[in-house]
Amino acid sequence: MNILSAWLRSYVPGIAVDDRQLAEDLTLRGIAVEGVHDLGTSADGKSNGHLFEMDITTNRVDAMNHYGIAREAATIYNLPLAPLDTTLPAAQPTAQPFSVEIAPEAQSLCGRFTAQVLRGITIAPSSGQVAEFFALLGQKPISNAVDASNFVLQGMGHPTHTFDLDKIDGGIIIRLAHKGERLRLLDGTERTLEADDLVIADHTKALSIAGVMGGWDSMITAETKNILVEAAWFDPASVRRSARRHGLHTDASHRFERGADFNGCPTANALVAKLILQSGGAPEGKLIDVVVPSVAARTALRPPIALSLSQIQRHLGATLDDQPNHSALTADLVRQYLTALGCTLTEAATNNQQPTTFSVQLPSWRLDLEREIDLIEEVARVYGYNRFANTLPTALPVIAHPLAAAESAVRTRLLALGYSEAISSSFASDSDGTAFVTTNQQTPRGLIALENPLSDEARLLRPSLAPGMIAMLAHNLNRDVREARLFEQGSIFSGSAEEVTESPSLSLGLTGDPPATRLHSAKDAAAFELKGVVESLLSLFAASPDELSTSATQRLTFAADAPAWLEPGRSATALLNGVPIACFGELAANQREARKLRQPVYLAQLDLDALYRLPLRRATAREISRFQTVERDFSFTFADAVQWRAIADAIHALAIPELTRLTPVEIFRDAKAGSASAGKYALLLRCVFQSAQRTLREDELAEWSTKLIATLTALGGTIRT
């Protein structure tokens, strides 16, 4: 909704801050200002102020108007709120008061109805403050009588309606509609009413749907001379039901559905009448005010609430303004805030002349306040949430989950490697359960069937994350996403219906056409990318607690065997210190064909239960050497049976401290081009030497090079010339 800062300031003229600070202060108190727009200046050079775009929560119907927000501003700045002037001209006497009746069956739906008769009215365009504020709001004026009702709605928030008095037959009856009764509304549409629609009627016909929209036959026209001003309280559920049934949502229904102010009826009625009478005419008789006591008792006359100062201080805790052994949330401050919001406080108990407990009578316009904790929240809101100290509750200690750091490290690494996190279903079909059952030392774990499955495709608790990962990759491929990299951290289940074991697991999925590298062909690049991801994840963890304080390293090896759902010869199992920790490779052809996948899919699955038993590595740093590095390249030919790990282990076994980096720069296997003969490959190995204490000497480099050549030769290598 839109609010004018100039209108607000007319209710609280002493506000010293500018409009932008006012908007910020209101927002910090839960009355959100989402936009502030400068309205420029008027013809006489006077500033028009700003337009506030407000976002008022549905429970704060009292703040859906200028006066309600002005009350909040007055409370924040401890300023007086200007009272609403409801004084009317002297009323003409009447021998026969106008008749208003609430039918017995409608008394729970219409708790209060006020009516004021105005005679000798002149219908004319609005002028003065009404015309000025409507122009700033961009609202189209209609006539002084209709505009008065809209002006009061935006001003103080209570819906009203004006009837052409001469079109009312007899008097007003608030009753339930007759089933099938027809009513033409102000929007020109004709509605067929139901028996539970609440209507305002005269002695012969319905005049309006109560709280929703007025009727065509009693609307104000240019010929209107006499007016009946109505302001009432209608049951929120009744208004909501009728509005939904007839597909109507009006400014009036929006407020009535959320709970109007029971005591606001006489004030709103008088304000509308006062505006209309500015163009001439006079009231006839006194205000007619019909009240249903039972409704008043549950709205405006709710019993008071006990409020303890100690409970306020206990719930809200320390503030930034506290003094030693003295809370800034004093009894005087609580009284100041709640009184400004409309509450009436009576001291219920004192201690050393200071109030400790209050009896709080709630204002009729705050139906959202029901309990002591609601009043405590009001104190916190007005005081300012930003003024409370940042402390953790002592009764609820915050303890990090034991696996939180490990999970975060794995997630961060995978995101950095270009993988996106995904979540799949926790259920699996019978076929997936059988095909992807997780093995532990070659022994299948038990499948767990659900007693009441959602469907045949979700009969089991998933024993593996792989089926869900394949489904997500297939979902992407079926929507022409040709390349995808996904990961999922989740639980897999094993055991029996009597004893279910839940274990953390990690699944990786890759599909697409990774480019060839200098080490791998395009066909093999995806599988080796997964291998590299597995190695990268395992490098986050130490092989044992001893590794954290020694130079020991993990012993990561790979075996050719893998689960049946991976393609033989294009998959492998990773072993950490001899224990299986992960499997990875291309999805088996039979599985790919069964799922109608149009391109190869690569998967990896890691046993996080075993991995998370290892400690995370601590990040370490060393001072960068200020001495020059020296590079030496060695070109050798090896038989295909000689793996890189054997070469790297043999060189590291030389224990040359100054050898800081070992890199396979190039590998050639092209027999036709003469790079290497069949069954062999050519390797260009680059070694980087550097000392942290001194510049290296040529004789040292020659000695280390001789050792490296001898070591590589002992592995069966031949120097390339």
Q: Kindly tell me if the per-residue pLDDT of 149 is higher than 90.
A: yes
Residue 153 CB neighbour total at 10 angstroms: 20
Q: How far apart are CA 151 and CA 144, in angstroms?
A: 10
DSSP-derived letter for residue 185 is: B
| Lowest-confidence segment of 367-381, 552-566, 591-605, 700-714 by average pLDDT | 552-566
Is there a contact between 342 and 62 (Cβ–Cβ < 8 Å)?
A: no
pLDDT (average), residues 498-505: 88
Candidates 528, 572, 535, 537; CA nearest to 556 is 535
* Predicted local distance difference test score (pLDDT) of residue 517: 73
Diameter of the chain measured on Cα atoms: 127
Task: Pinpoint the alpha helices (H) of 391-521.
Answer: 404-416, 430-435, 466-477
Q: Kindly tell me if the per-residue pLDDT of 434 is higher than 50.
A: yes
CA angle 323, 329, 332 (to 5 degrees): 115
Q: What are the pLDDT digits (tens) for 42-53?
A: 888 889 999 999
* Predicted local distance difference test score (pLDDT) of residue 623: 86
Q: Kindly tell me if the per-residue pLDDT of 638 is higher than 80.
A: yes
Q: What are the pLDDT digits (tens) for 183-225?
A: 999 999 999 999 999 999 999 999 999 999 999 999 999 999 9
Q: Tell me if 2-77 shares its fold with 305-387.
A: yes
Residues 6 or more apart whose Cβ sits within 8 Å of residue 77: 12, 14, 15, 16, 17
Give the domain ranges of the chain. 2-77, 100-298, 305-387, 404-611, 630-719
* Predicted local distance difference test score (pLDDT) of residue 351: 73
Going by CATH, does the domain composed of 630-719 fall within 3.30.70.380?
A: yes
* Predicted local distance difference test score (pLDDT) of residue 209: 97
pLDDT (average), residues 78-90: 94
Q: Kindly tell me if the per-residue pLDDT of 398 is higher than 80.
A: no
Q: Kindly tell me if the per-residue pLDDT of 4 is higher than 60.
A: yes
For the whole model, what pTM was predicted?
Answer: 0.60
Structural domain 100-298, CATH architecture = 3-Layer(bba) Sandwich (3.50)
190-192/161-164 β-pairing = unpaired
Q: Kindly tell me if the per-residue pLDDT of 104 is higher than 50.
A: yes
Indicate the helix (H) or strand (E) that contains 355: strand 354-361
Q: Is 11 exposed, middle or buried (0-12, 13-18, 19+ CB in 10 A)?
A: buried
* pLDDT, the chain, mean: 90
Candidates 341, 357, 367, 353; CA nearest to 307 is 357
CATH top-level class for 305-387? Answer: alpha beta
Handedness of CA 333, 339, 343, 344 (dihedral sign): positive
Q: Which CATH number applies to 2-77? A: 3.30.56.10
* Predicted local distance difference test score (pLDDT) of residue 509: 95
Binned at pLDDT 50, 70 and 90, residue 3 comes out as very high
Residues 493-517 as b/e (b if ≥16 CB within 10 A, e otherwise) read bbeeeeeeeebbbbbbbbbbebeee
Phi, psi of 209 (to 5 degrees): -85, 115
Task: Report helix, strand and coil shares of the chain as percent, to nearest 5.
Answer: 30, 30, 40
Instruction: Transcribe 633-644 into DSSP letters.
Output: EEEEEEETTS-H
CATH top-level class for 404-611? Answer: alpha beta
Q: What are the pLDDT digits (tens) for 242-283?
A: 999 999 999 999 999 999 999 999 999 999 999 999 999 999
Q: Kindly tell me if the per-residue pLDDT of 548 is higher than 70.
A: no
Q: What are the pLDDT digits (tens) for 301-359?
A: 999 999 999 999 999 989 999 999 899 999 999 999 999 999 999 988 777 667 789 99
Residues 6 or more apart whose Cβ sits within 8 Å of residue 443: none
Q: Kindly tell me if the per-residue pLDDT of 440 is higher than 70.
A: no
Q: How many CA atoms lie within 13 A of 165 on its CB side?
A: 19
pLDDT (average), residues 75-84: 95
